[in-house]
Amino acid sequence: MEKTPQGGAGNTPPLLQIDGITLTFGGVRALSDVGFSVAAGSITAIIGPNGAGKTSLFNTVSGFYRPTRGQVRFKGQDITHLPAPKRAKLGLGRSFQNIALFRGMTVLDNIKLGRHAHLKTNVLDALFYLGRARREEAALRADIEERIIDFLEIDHIRHAPVSALPYGLQKRVEMARALAMQPEILMLDEPVAGMNREETEDMARFILDVREEWGVTVLMVEHDMGMVMDLSDHVVVLNFGQVIAQGTPAAVQGDPEVIRAYLGSGDVGDLRRRLHAGLATREAV
């Protein structure tokens, strides 16, 4: 049974609510009256053709863009005007479409940066590495090494510089840094873009496990339709900055507006074959 409203279950309020978001750059409207909700414990996917506004929406939700109109509410709190660091501290952690790691730093140091928003050490403590700074550093390292690095199976590269890693492992490190932020909502911007089949399968497994084992809600933008349809509880479809459909993966597959957005025609069967092509190929291997 589909959760309501738009991914919420029964009368349980959504964890994240997007209401009437409009975003303009000069005379260009990137988003127009976008609205949907994300239920706690769900995996919600945002899909759409290139240029549909998916990353603009992600940047608006995470605080990098400020909308022209509309509201972003997290756990009932209006966070529309909060800057990105404060949203991160509240529980919104994200990765980026283009890898945004510090390439000259090690994997471990990159991951540790994700916890920065939660640290209580003041400048004096940090400068002289006093008691509180040492205790926080020890606790941080233990948590990252015992939970996150082990969870994402990257123990063998913890001391490697990011620049020396293949692309797929860099994407995994970026997810680790987002998890170090202790998010209630993990926002993943194209988590498997550019990955081969094995890397994609691994990332799909991690996304499912972070929801099942850690109770983290997932909101992701992704172009791999097989993965989206296999993992998601709720799918939101954007086209030209507007929501044209949303619902369960099964419902979205057959929506005529989605068919037209992707194919320019009404061939439902063709779209379904395309949506499941990636998944069917992986299952056959």
157-207 pLDDT, tens digit per residue, is 989 999 899 988 988 999 998 898 889 999 999 999 888 989 999 999 999
Domains of the chain: 1-91+183-285 (3.40.50.300), 101-182 (no CATH)
The tokens describing 97, both together, are 């479409």
Whether the link from the prior residue into 161 is cis, omega within 30° of 0, is no
Contact 181, 114 (CB under 8 A): yes
pLDDT for 129 equals 47
Cα–Cα distance between 10 and 4 in angstroms, integer? 6
Q: Are strands 16-25 and 69-74 parallel, antiparallel or unpaired?
A: antiparallel
Rounded to the nearest integer, the mean pLDDT of the chain is 82
* Percent of the chain's residues with pLDDT above 70: 76
pLDDT for residue 259 is more than 90? no
pLDDT above 70 (res 222): yes
pLDDT: which is higher, 56 or 117: 56
For the segment 75-116, what is each residue's pLDDT rounded down to a tens digit? 999 999 999 989 988 999 988 876 778 778 888 888 888 765
Q: What is the pTM of this model?
A: 0.81
Over range 2-24, report the average pLDDT. Answer: 74
- Cis check for the bond before 5: say yes or no (omega within 30 of 0): yes
